[in-house]
Amino acid sequence: MPAKKEDFQEEEIPETVVNPQSPKVWRKDEGQTGISLLAQVTTISWNLALPPVVGALLGHYIDGRTDGGVTWTLSLLVLGVMVAFSNLYSLYIEHGRQKKTNQDQSKDSDKENHEKE
């Protein structure tokens, strides 16, 4: 027997789903434009992709000049991955500080508005 439209209840989809095991989804905060979200995504992409690629290319060049096999390529590739995740961690810490500052400012403004009433 096929399901009917009446069998399903309409539910409001929450803006974010709180689940510690799921990855964080980009969501648009108040005051953010599409361009700023694009800039954030692009920054993360470059910070993750560029160091390993540059490390591998530089390692390949050094290996070609020294006849060292793939030693430099693998070493600099691993170093590039480590740098990429270090950059990602730095961005994460910076984003957390900005978010905390914004929350503190909104709490202060809410408190001031409440005191005025």
> What pLDDT score was predicted for residue 3?
63
pLDDT tens digits along 54-81 = 999 999 999 999 987 899 999 999 999 9
> What pLDDT score was predicted for residue 39?
84
| CA angle at 19 for the pair 15 and 24, rounded to the nearest 5° | 65
> What pLDDT score was predicted for residue 117?
59
**pTM greater than the 0.85 cutoff:** no
Burial class (CB in 10 A: 0-12, 13-18, 19+), 42: exposed
pLDDT tens digits along 15-43 = 555 555 555 555 555 566 778 778 888 88
